[in-house]
Structure 1
Amino acid sequence: MRRAFLAFVALLLLGVAIMLIPWFGWGNVSGPAQSFEVKRGASLSGVARDLETAGLAKSAWQFRVLARVLGDDAPVQAGRYRLRAGTPWRDILATLQKGEVERFTVTIPEGWPAVLVAERLNAVSGLTGKASVPAEGSILPDTYEYQPGEDRAVLMKRMQTAMIKTLADLWPKRTARAVVKTPEQAIVLASIVEKETGKASERRMIAGVYSNRLAQGMKLDADPTVIYPITAGKPLGRRIRQSELRRDTGYNTYLKPGLPRGPIANPGRDSIMAVLDPDDTQALYFVADGSGGHVFAKTLAEHNANVARWFALRRQRGEM
């Protein structure tokens, strides 16, 4: 009788241990990640059934029992999750209760023109509707979260709202060295700064040069402003032609002093801040230095010498 009782107890303990294996993940083999959705208002029982259907839990009944006995009473949160078969069930439950939903993001790089913003949004799968090309300079470059099924126009509106808020935050912080008179002018000049340098450390210096030129009534002579009306801001892929330098498009800063008619890209926060707080410099010129940056000059003679060195380097590289 005693042996039978001990055998019963042993079998009972073994059964409990076996039942607990998936809860703690003892010896589990992790499977590939998959998307799992918890619909709004879903119950624990319904979620358990969906987990079994998805192959994330072998038994809906077992998951539900263990969740009620060993889990807490927090409700599962609606949303789309990224889960793996073989994950301990306690971790799956915790993920669903904490609402650690799968993050869907899209990134708009600094300096992208509006046409590329629309192309990127239209290429993102899972969104609905079609994104039209926004007003140039109205998008704040950043990484944005979205949910599957969201309208592209709604997502774009969030990007534009972010630019409005950022500009409203930065404009009052402008220094006495800033030459732009309105927030709109700040976006225009920041878009040129953004296109002129890929080095964050140069932004304020480039902004300082252009601010000096604007203050003295000099032409900006900015190549990106010539390219913009030709390609809508996309890379030109060749050298600018002399005929294009003579063409009055409203953007060509080689023809007349002052800012172009509008932005030529979507500038990032740092470039906007650079034109609102430009470097305190006397430089009026700059040219590429061959290493991804620029060399600056106060006088035309110094600039011409720098240009000559740059051309010599390009000829040495076989680029001219």
Structure 2
Amino acid sequence: MKKKKLIIGIIITIVVIIIIAVSAFFLIIPSVKPFNTDKPNVSFVINTKENFNDVLNDLSEKNIIKDKNLIEMYTSVTGKPSLMPGQYTINSKVTVKQFLNILKDQKTITVVIPEGYTVNQIAGIFDKIGMFSKQDFINAVNNYKLPEFIKPVQGRKYQLEGYLFPTTYAFKKGESVNTVIETMINTFVAELDASIKETGVKITPAQINETVTKASIIEKEAKTPEQMKNVSSVIDNRLKANMPLQMDDTVLYSMDKLGENVTKVYDKDLKTQSPYNTYLNKGLPIGPICNPGKQAIEAALKPNNTKYLYYILTSNHSFFTDNFKDFTAEKNKVIN
């Protein structure tokens, strides 16, 4: 009898310990901070066909979360959140519970459009996150009724290229493609107005296309604000001197290769027949070659006051000059 009571006592003790351990687990885990980073925010993309486990595995492989197993154990009891495709930016200091609630309560899709992306690249982003197919977005861009300040120009790849402002957007689930395009154009208008006020440079509606086309080249050719202002001055100085701009990125756009990590433009590429090719055609190209950001627009509006006509820009080298001989010598140094 005593032995039986002892066994029962041991079993009860074990059960109590298990209950306490499980309770402690589910009390502690929600307050654990899951992200393994010193950065203020964590950004990641959830694609259309991904489930919660796929996302956890991806974040774990990228060393963004500390321990996916703890989160998997917790959600196996509490339930896994249903996910909305999109780009997420979450404060890195949130707890596990807050992280799961953000995923569960997400009613908007966050979309990040990088500066300098083309219409084709933007279409690829929307396709990747499942809002629209790439072709549906491109079709909508081609069929969109142009606002008054955008005049149609025959021969352009996309009439809206340059006017889909690159920034972070939060779109409602199920938002129509035309509403998305309208939002991006309205953002462009607001940012252009802000840039005009900040630079103090006024332009007429007729000068908007020229400004945006110039800014699009600056966006692709330069990286820093100072480089952008210098490239802007080179463009102006070459136009005044009736020199061809000879900007490589206009050639890449002509070849539908802009944004494809092409590291070299060959002599044969420079002969590509296109109204965008500034090696074959003097003046600005027929239209923008990408969608520029605010810094590039401001550089287009207000360039540095220089006599520069040539430049060399690499990932770690910046050189501007008004002398072709100096340019050639510097180019040979960089190549060799």
Shorter-chain TM-score: what band?
0.5 to 0.7
Does residue 132 (structure 1) correspond to residue 157 (structure 2)? The answer is: no
Does residue 113 (structure 1) correspond to residue 137 (structure 2)? The answer is: no
Q: Secondary structure at the match of 2:169?
A: strand
Does residue 256 (structure 1) correspond to residue 256 (structure 2)? The answer is: no
AA aligned to 1:294 is: S
1:310, CA displacement in angstroms? 1.4
- The answer to whether the 8 Å contact 2:166/2:292 transfers is yes
Paired-residue identity, %: 24
Work out the CA distance in 1 between the residues paired with 2:245 and 2:327. 14
1:103, CA displacement in angstroms? 5.7
Could you tell which deviates more after superposition, 160-169 or 294-303? 160-169
Give the structure with higher Rg (CA). Answer: 1
Distance 1:170 1:200, change over 3 A: closer
- The answer to whether the 8 Å contact 2:255/2:272 transfers is no
- The answer to whether the 8 Å contact 1:56/1:86 transfers is no
Alignment of 1:125-204 (within 5 A): 125=130, 127=131, 130-132=136-138, 134=141, 135-171=160-196, 182-204=207-229
Distance 1:204 1:177, change over 3 A: farther
Q: Secondary structure at the match of 2:138?
A: coil
1:238, CA displacement in angstroms? 5.6
TM-score by structure 1 length? 0.62
- The answer to whether the 8 Å contact 1:191/1:266 transfers is yes
TM-score by structure 2 length? 0.60
Work out the CA distance in 2 between the residues paired with 1:175 and 1:213. 24
AA aligned to 1:303 is: F
- Partner residue in 1 for 2:309: 284
1:201, CA displacement in angstroms? 3.4
Q: Secondary structure at the match of 1:30?
A: helix
Work out the CA distance in 2 between the residues paired with 1:214 and 1:119. 34
Give structure 1 regions of 4+ aligned residues with deviation exceeding 6 angstroms.
31-35, 54-57
- The answer to whether the 8 Å contact 1:106/1:143 transfers is yes
Q: Secondary structure at the match of 1:266?
A: coil
Deviations 1:150-174 (A, max 9, x none): 2343223211221122224434665
Deviations 1:10-69 (A, max 9, x none): xxxxxxxxxxxx9xxx9454289999xxxxxxxxxxxxxxxxxx9769xxxxxxxxxxxx
Q: Secondary structure at the match of 1:106?
A: strand
Distance 1:181 1:298, change over 3 A: farther
Work out the CA distance in 2 between the residues paired with 1:242 and 1:194. 23
Distance 1:309 1:148, change over 3 A: same
Deviations 1:87-143 (A, max 9, x none): 69xxx9xx9xxxx96663111111111100011112113x36742263211211101
- The answer to whether the 8 Å contact 1:107/1:142 transfers is yes
CA RMSD of aligned residues (A): 4.2
For structure 2, which runs of at least 5 residues remain unmatched after alignment? 1-22, 35-50, 53-75, 80-89, 142-159
For structure 1, which runs of at least 5 residues remain unmatched after alignment? 1-21, 36-53, 58-81, 313-320
- The answer to whether the 8 Å contact 1:282/1:298 transfers is yes
Work out the CA distance in 2 between the residues paired with 1:260 and 1:109. 22
Could you tell which deviates more after superposition, 294-303 or 187-196? 294-303
